[in-house]
Structure 1
Amino acid sequence: MKKFDVVALGELLIDFTPAGLSATGMRLFEQNPGGAPANMLTAVSRAGLKTAFIGKIGADMHGDFLRSVLESVPIDTGSLITDPSVFTTLAFVSLSITGERGFSFARKPGADTKLCIEEINKDILADTKIFHVGSLSLTDEPSRSATFEAVRIAKEAGAIISYDPNYREPLWDSVENAVEMMRLMSTFADIMKISDEETSLLTPYNEPLAAGKYLVENGIKLVVVTLGEKGALAVSKTGYVEVPGFKSNVVDTTGAGDSFWGGLVARFLNENVDLDNISTKQMYDIARYGNAVASLCVEKRGGIVSIPTFDEVLERLKQ
């Protein structure tokens, strides 16, 4: 029996989200805990499963805050390293009137990029059902090598490898390098989420279904393409299914894709789905659950703090 249901490695950061204007007309920012892997784990934890985070923060007020937030979720922080030589990564978010985001990162370097494989407790990689990574840990060394090595260890120990590229152009030195690294990581994945904006980066195709089929043909057992308010498209060797989204009063899309994937993965585990024989009905069910989680997440500002409880998701599923 594995100790953890899902362990994730990657960035843990502060999203400074617009929160109106001060009395003098200056823009205010709200300190929101975030980072795609942490957002994803929060959605898993809120479904009642056991999770743990592997990463690095600075020995500063933001790092202390982030650790306390994870522990309150709860997410195990025994493998979260505090490093006094680097500063916790910050992301300043701009929001359009429709809730779409732009990013400006304080990450030169950020603590998340300085995680070394020697600092990782390798026992945790062998003690999880699913090991999840993104691509932000692939932008720089030593976190790039640490991520690939962690995936190798977890996969050899029998973990299902979950991957969400979560492409952020400002953090890469070139699009070409981003494509190379993101595609390389996809060769290790068993289950994978991409957005409809990432299809041409991860595959030779722009159209979601063609991209999904390509990835399945190249060894990934379950591929889900998120389609924004339209929902999601799930593809496996069994076939494919389109899953409509839920209506939302969109305030902030931060964490939407992460919470979707965390919800889907939680449902996948709770339903004891056989990944090698997943049916289209099961794909529909787990993706619909993910859609419900994401539809609630976007109705509040921030990442972790906006991710709904299990009971809230069940209520949304009644729609």
Structure 2
Amino acid sequence: MKPEVLSFGEPLAAFYSKDRRSLSKAGEFDMTWGGDTSNVALGISKLGHTSGYITKVGDDAFGEGFLDLWKSNGVDTTNVIIDSDRLTGMYFASFIGEKHEFIYRRKDAAASTYSVDDARDVDFEGVRILHLSGVSQAISRQCLEASLVLMKRARENGAVISFDLNYRGKLWSSELAKSVYLSVISRYADIVSLNDEEQEVLGIKGDPEDAANYLLELGPKVVALRCGVKGAVIATRKKSVKGKAKKVEVADTVGAGDTFTASLLCCYLEDRNEEDSLQFALSAAALTCTKTGSTEGQPSKKQVLDFIGGNPVTQ
């Protein structure tokens, strides 16, 4: 079965400090799997839709682990290239209080060498959505160029383009990021996801609803603006709605935004209205926060609906 959604980007093996101490003092780590667009692909599959991933991984234990992870969760790996000359990227993290500490090891990793030629080999027949992020574009110049080819080819084949800004200041300057973001939003993106910090990167004044409506004027059909504990806004050309974050016992917030985006895309595929889409996405994101790591807490559709309905959420 051809995937409904193809997601492009950078997978990262993740190591979390077990004792939640600073990384300079951490003794033991739990390993898990990360990478924003990989999280989205996994989230979509867990919510009952078909997804696939576009990337390069190293011919190493982490690359093999990702392939096993994707396949075991129903994510199509037809467009995953194994690079025998590069390693799979990784990061180390600690969740201290309400803040995260990160150290990345991604320079020259396999995913950063994904090229325009690689992008030309992707089959978009039957694909309804291509999802990518600012991280996918910031890790290397050739990934940025490849992303443009992927978006153009996806659009030519009738697919909708989903773009999550996901700004990372250590990867590129806010000025360059803003220029690329606005170009993608105005030329390609149908669905745009961002958070309130990225609203500042874009230089958009006003409250989240004002910002979402401003971005709609640039061309997208849907804009989702996440505001952390304050909730989120979803705006379309018909209306905008806002909702508060759901209350849960938080173990870790990494990946919550990715689950929100995965949920939003599933709701788009199901032609849900703005209110239902927002409540579903906020609920799925909240459930992700109940476990450490960006994928461990990702819920099924039944779990989200149980949570919304006030019923016990079973594993």
TM-score, length basis structure 1: 0.90
- Once the two structures are TM-superposed, the CA of residue 119 in structure 1 deviates from its matched residue by 2.0
Q: Which whole-Å CA distance do the structure 2 matches of 1:189 and 1:131 have between them?
A: 10
Cα distance per residue 1:246-293 (max 9 Å; x no partner): 1111111110000011012112212x35xxxxxxxx111011111111
1:317 to 297, 308, 314: 308
Q: Which whole-Å CA distance do the structure 1 matches of 2:45 and 2:38 have between them?
A: 10
Q: Which whole-Å CA distance do the structure 2 matches of 1:198 and 1:285 have between them?
A: 25
Cα distance per residue 1:2-39 (max 9 Å; x no partner): 932111101111122221289xx742222111111111
Size of the aligned set, in residue pairs, is: 305
Which residue of structure 1 lines up, in the alignment, with residue 114 of structure 2? Answer: 115
% same residue: 29
Paired residues of 1:125 and 1:150 also in contact (CA < 8 A)? no
Deviates more, 1:85-94 or 1:250-259: 85-94
Which residue of structure 2 lines up, in the alignment, with residue 279 of structure 1? Answer: none
SS in 2 for 1:259: helix
Q: For 2:39, give the aligned amino acid.
A: N
Which residue of structure 2 lines up, in the alignment, with residue 71 of structure 1? Answer: 71
1:230 aligns with 2:241: no
SS in 1 for 2:141: coil
Q: For 1:260, give the aligned amino acid.
A: F
- Once the two structures are TM-superposed, the CA of residue 206 in structure 1 deviates from its matched residue by 5.4
Change (3 A) 1:26 1:191: closer
Structure 1, unaligned stretches of length 5 or more? 274-281
- Once the two structures are TM-superposed, the CA of residue 297 in structure 1 deviates from its matched residue by 0.2
Q: Which whole-Å CA distance do the structure 1 matches of 2:281 and 2:255 have between them?
A: 12
Q: Which whole-Å CA distance do the structure 1 matches of 2:79 and 2:132 have between them?
A: 15
Cα distance per residue 1:124-168 (max 9 Å; x no partner): 323310110101121212111111110010011111100101111
Cα distance per residue 1:44-101 (max 9 Å; x no partner): 1112111100001111111111111111111001111110111111122231212x32
Cα distance per residue 1:189-229 (max 9 Å; x no partner): 00111111110213532531221111001111110101112
Paired residues of 1:8 and 1:37 also in contact (CA < 8 A)? yes
Which residue of structure 1 lines up, in the alignment, with residue 143 of structure 2? Answer: 143
Q: Which whole-Å CA distance do the structure 1 matches of 2:283 and 2:261 have between them?
A: 11
Higher relative contact order (CA 8 A, sep 6+): 1
Q: Which whole-Å CA distance do the structure 2 matches of 1:82 and 1:211 have between them?
A: 40
- Map 1:186-205; keep pairs closer than 5 Å: 186-187=185-186, 188-205=188-205
SS in 1 for 2:79: strand
Which residue of structure 2 lines up, in the alignment, with residue 183 of structure 1? Answer: 182
Q: For 1:74, give the aligned amino acid.
A: G
Paired residues of 2:161 and 2:191 also in contact (CA < 8 A)? yes
TM-score, length basis structure 2: 0.91
Q: For 2:94, give the aligned amino acid.
A: S
Q: CA RMSD in A?
A: 1.8
Q: For 1:110, give the aligned amino acid.
A: A
Q: For 1:11, give the aligned amino acid.
A: E
Change (3 A) 1:21 1:249: closer
- Once the two structures are TM-superposed, the CA of residue 123 in structure 1 deviates from its matched residue by 4.7
Runs of 4+ in 1 over 4 A off after TM superposition: none
Q: Which whole-Å CA distance do the structure 2 matches of 1:126 and 1:215 have between them?
A: 29
Which residue of structure 1 lines up, in the alignment, with residue 277 of structure 2? Answer: 286
